Structures are given as C-alpha cells and as structure tokens.
Structure 1
Amino acid sequence: MYSSILVPIDIAEEDLTNMVIPYVQTHAVLNTTKVHFLAVVPFHSFYTSLGLAYSAEMPSINEIRQSALSKLNEIVKQFRLPVEKIETHIADGSPKDQILKFAHKIGADLIIIASHRPNITTYLLGSNAADVVRHAKCPVLVVR
C-alpha cells in the first residue's frame, strides 16, 4: 500500500522518537516500502538566539549538518528496520516547510510524525504537526 514513508525526526526530542517507533515498524513491515528519515536543522539565525552571536563561535552549516546526520543515523538504529529499507536525510530551515517540501520531492505515500501534547497556543496539535496535516498532499499519521 505504501512505497515511500517519510518520518520527520526531531533529534533533540527523544520522547517523540520513541513514540513513533512502533508505528514506523508496523508500516514498514506491512508494506514493501522505503522509509525516509528526515531531520531538519534550524536556520543559522536560531543560533544567535542561543547567544552564539559571533561567527567564530558558531559552527559552519556543514558541521551542523554532519553532526545532525550522525545523530539521526544513531536514532534510526532504534527502529530495527532492514538497512535496505532506510534512507536518512538532513535539511535546514523551517521544519514544517522542509517536511512538506521533502514529502513532495520523494513522493511520500505517508508521513508519520510525532506531536507534543497540545497547550493553549497549539490547541489540538503541535504547530509543526498541525501545519503538516493541513498542507500535506498524502495521508499523515500523527502520533501522540
């Protein structure tokens, strides 16, 4: 049924990753599929908000992407999927925009995304999950 599944991973949120593992495993086993794991690195301007205002303190985007890819590859091992079914990817920018863009690029048949518990500002879903659900061109499984 699904030949291409996109699983966005927030490499800083281990709890969210743990929530999606059984759903990804089930869909990957039931379908002849390729599972694309995507981590999105925020823009450089994000780092200035952390106090890393000087370029000498801020790692290069290539260093950030390489570090994120290493972390993503470690996280993906927890899914215990056959290596031939897995592809890992890194993008930088706005998570919701990059998730939607990448889903279109790979022709995703399904997106499996974790969502934080809602609060008053996000009401029903986390803001990234809500935007992905609202704008995705394929089914989206939101895990909470």
Structure 2
Amino acid sequence: MAGFERAIATEKPIFASEFPQRERGVWHQLTWLNTDNRQTGYFKQQITIGVGSMYENILVPVLVDNEHDTHASLQAAKTLASDRAKFTIVHVMEPIPSFVLAEIPADALNRTHTEIEDAMSRMAQSLEDCETKLISGHAGRAIVDYAHDNGVDCIVVASHSPRVSDFILGSTAAWVVRNANCSVHVVR
C-alpha cells in the first residue's frame, strides 16, 4: 500500500453470511487511507491469546474515588502484559496551593493520603509484581514524566466521556496520548 497513512478497523464484525462469496467465519472491514484515495478491504478474524502480550513495564494511572471503575484498566493491563511484566499503579494528586494548605488540618491530609494508598494497594492485589505510587503534580504531565523516568513501555489510561471543556483544554488521557514517548492504551 504505497502512501499508506492509517488503517481503521470496524468494531462490528461482518459475518460471512453477508458476503456469500467469502468463506465461513467472522470477517472485519478494514479501511485504509492512501494519499490518493480511500480503499476498503476485508480480513478474517484470526486472534490468538497472547498476540498482544508484549509490554514489560506497564503504568496504570487511576483515580481513587467512587465514580471511576478501574477494573477495565487493570484487565487491559493484564491482557497487554508479557509473562514477566512489572506493573505500577499511580495516583496523581494535584498540588494544593500553600494558602489553602495552611487551612487544612495535617491529620486530614495524612488521612487522605492513607486512604488513597490503601485503595491502590487493594487494586494492586489483582496484578502480579505490582507496586503503587502516589505522586504530585499536573496529572497528565506527572504521568508522562513518571513513565519517561521509569522506563515504562505502555501506559493504560482510562478516559471518561469528554466534556466541552476537554475539547478546549484537553483531558488527562488526551494529554498523555499526545505527549507520552511510549505506547498508550486508552480504555473507555
């Protein structure tokens, strides 16, 4: 495919019964964009367990709250991992301005850190060779910096449904995708 730019596979399988000239099985439509035109072809689904198992140092950023389910991110990390993979679950706390920090009781801040660390430890039990890190900074930048500094080869980040402000400012997942020097797997 000369001038190949990108390929897009449909999420919905196309069954052979829809195309009598094809053999039985599940087929997927593949559309690729050339520099001159758009072409469509079909490929048969041939997925074997372990094909995507290639990453050895996986970072899973999480939000520790009641609104976000991290199960899908952890499952994706397991699926993408090699047999000897190392996992790191990280939560980023935005810096608290000093004038606000002065008004927060020290025990409340310590209690919050302990609750976050406990929640991450429970998440880590579902992964082998997993450590947890609580870091501070701008969420997207802190995740990308941590990945770069620690030799991470894949970041598995969850994405929420975008709000209008995300198109202007950018969500954490979008920031990570645009700025990471390693593979990024976005879970919706």
Residue 118 (structure 1) shift: 1.1
When the two chains are superposed, the root-mean-square deviation of aligned CA atoms in Å is 2.8
Q: Which has the larger radius of gyration?
A: 2
Query: 1:22 matched to which residue of 2?
Result: 75
What is the distance in 2 between the residues matched to 1:92 and 1:108?
18
What amino acid is aligned across from residue 81 of structure 1 in structure 2? Answer: L
Higher strand share: 2
Report sequence identity in percent.
Answer: 32
Q: Secondary structure at the match of 1:122?
A: helix
Count of aligned pairs between the two proteins: 135
Query: How high is the TM-score relative to the length of structure 1?
Result: 0.78
Letter in 2 for 1:54: E
> Partner of 2:60 in structure 1?
7
Say whether 1:140 aligns with 2:184. Answer: yes
Q: TM-score, normalised by structure 2?
A: 0.62
Flag the structure with higher helix content: 1
Does residue 87 of structure 2 align to residue 35 of structure 1? yes
Note if 1:92 corresponds to 2:136: yes
In 2, Cα distance between equivalents of 1:7 and 1:46: 29
1: CA distance between counterparts of 2:99 and 2:123? 23
Alpha-carbon distance between aligned partners in 2 of 1:81 and 1:103, rounded to the nearest angstrom: 18
Unpaired stretches in structure 2, ≥5 consecutive residues: 1-53
Unmatched tracts of structure 1, length 5 or more: none
